Amino acid sequence: MNKFESSIIETIHERKSVRSYSDTLVDPKVLQEVLSFATDNSVGPFGNKVSFQLVDAEGFDTKSMKNLGTYGAIKGARSYLVGSVSPADKAMEDFGFCMEHAMLKATSLGLGTCWLGGFLNRSTFAELCNIGSKEIIPAVTPLGFAAKRTTLRDKLIRKAVDGNNRRPFSTLFFEDDFTPLTYIETDSAHVLLESVRRAPSASNKQPWRIVISSEAMHLYLEEDAAYNHRFDPVLMQNIDMGIAMSHLALAAKAQSLQGKWTQLKVVSMHEKYQYIASWVRST
Ligand SMILES: Cc1cc2nc3c(=O)[nH]c(=O)nc-3n(C[C@H](O)[C@H](O)[C@H](O)COP(=O)(O)O)c2cc1C
């Protein structure tokens, strides 16, 4: 296990959205390291392939920067990691999975990141990256050093989405037939769930619900349909599912728990939740 893999739980807990960036330029080698990692981990658990590119806004004038559409939320970022995918079944989950892997790699290298699925001009990024007409850019992230002082806008966004807080453990995670689960710090399965609870999600809505059994963890989406479909065919909350899958898979590996994500034919159903996939233990 390499350093990134063994310290992933700390990295997950450290990560938070950075919206104010310092002027200090990031060493191009570090940016390349993030890109190579992303490219090496670009197939999601459902088999969709995500393509990654870097956009260097270093030479951009203010107008070009504004054209990226990220200007309102993000201050000072010079580099962006852009991911694209072809629309297909579970492409959003796979995109969330691969992009979050790359963003955690960036966090481990000391860089700030922020998922941007709403605040961006997709067509400008598509032009800059020469994205094929069939592909879509579900989200991008700035890559840079966090500024010492956050902007007022940054503080307002964080407050509006209550970005520092998460829902109680027992409202997200369940056992048996959706009986709320009480967090036990020494239980390795609960450590995995806590890694999901710390995940970023669109507008911090935290739509992940997980039911655990002795051999599997079943992931469901509690969808806010109007919100999820606002940028159709980009589905924000299905991206959230992929992010949760990434956190769980990485945290499991760090704890030497073997398993993989798969879709089961028979799982418990709940009227409010859509079944996504199960992480099934292999030992
Ligand atoms: C799919 C997705 C899309 C997001 N889009 C935006 C966005 O457009 N603008 C923004 O400022 N934050 C965006 N965020 C960041 C969330 O608001 C943030 O992750 C959440 O509030 C939790 O805060 P944290 O990341 O600091 O833990 C997005 C997050 C996700 C997962």
Ligand 1 atom with the smallest distance to the CA of 198 is: 27
Between 12-16, 70-74, 132-136, 161-165, the lowest mean confidence (pLDDT) is in: 70-74
* Mean of pLDDT over the chain: 95
For residues 206 and 183, give the distance between their C-alpha atoms in angstroms, rounded to a whole number: 17
Q: Does the CB atom of residue 114 touch ligand 1 within 6 A?
A: yes
| pLDDT value for 66 | 84
Local confidence band at 105 (pLDDT 50, 70, 90 cut-offs) = very high
pLDDT reading at 183 higher than 90: yes
Confidence of residue 72 (pLDDT cuts 50, 70, 90): confident
Give me ligand 1 centre to Cα 198, in Å.
12
Q: Which atom of ligand 1 is nearest to the CA of 157?
A: 11
Is the pLDDT at 32 greater than 90, yes or no? yes
Proportion of the chain above pLDDT 70, given as a percent: 100
Res. 73 pLDDT band, cuts 50 70 90: confident
pLDDT of residue 39: 98
How many A from CA of 98 to the centre of ligand 1?
16
Q: Is the CB of 94 under 6 A from ligand 1?
A: no
- Ligand 1 atom at minimal distance to the Cα of residue 120: 8
Residue type, 128: L
If you average pLDDT over residues 142-155, what whole number do you get? 92
Q: Ligand 1, closest atom to CA 239?
A: 1
Ligand 1 pocket residue status of 166, Cβ below 6 Å: no
Rounded CA-CA distance 2/44 in Å is 20
- Look at residue 46 in the predicted model and tell me its pLDDT: 98
Spacing, Cα 128 to ligand 1 middle (Å): 23
Whether the CB of 157 sits within 6 Å of ligand 1: yes
Look at ligand 1, atom 23, and give the residue with the nearest C-alpha: 163
pLDDT digits over 88-99, tens only?
999 999 999 999
Q: What is the 3-state secondary structure (H, E, C) of the chain?
A: CCHHHHCHHHHHHHCCECCEECCCCCCHHHHHHHHHHHHHCCECCCCCEEEEEEEECCCCCHHHHHHCCCCCCCECCCEEEEEEECCCCCHHHHHHHHHHHHHHHHHHCCCEECCECCCCCHHHHHHHCCCCCCCEEEEEEEEECECCCCCHHHHHHHHHCCCCCCCCHHHHEEECCCEECCCCCCCHHHHHHHHHHCCCCHHHCCCEEEEECCCEEEEEECCCHHHHCCECCECHHHHHHHHHHHHHHHHHHHCCCCEEEECCCCCCCECCEEEEEEEEECC
Q: How confident is the model at residue 82 (pLDDT cuts 50, 70, 90)?
A: very high
pLDDT digits over 34-55, tens only?
999 999 999 999 999 999 999 9
Residue 85 has pLDDT above 90, yes or no: yes
- Whether 276 has a pLDDT exceeding 80, the answer reads yes
Q: Which domains does the chain have, with CATH numbers?
A: 3-158 (3.40.109.10), 161-281 (3.40.109.30)
Greater confidence, 221 or 76?
Answer: 221
What spacing in Å lies between the alpha carbon of 203 and ligand 1's midpoint?
6
Q: What is the atom index within ligand 1 of the atom nearest the CA of 158?
A: 21
* pLDDT higher than threshold 90 for residue 216: yes
The closest-lying atom of ligand 1 relative to the alpha carbon of residue 162 is 21
- Bond prior to 138 in cis (omega within 30° of 0): no
Probe residue for ligand 1, chosen from 75, 115, 155 as the CB with the greatest number of ligand atoms within 8 Å: 115
pLDDT at residue 69 tops 90:
no
- Per-residue confidence (pLDDT) for residue 148, from 0 to 100: 93
pLDDT at 71 over 80: no
| Residue 52 CA to ligand 1 centre (angstroms) | 19
pLDDT value of residue 4? 97
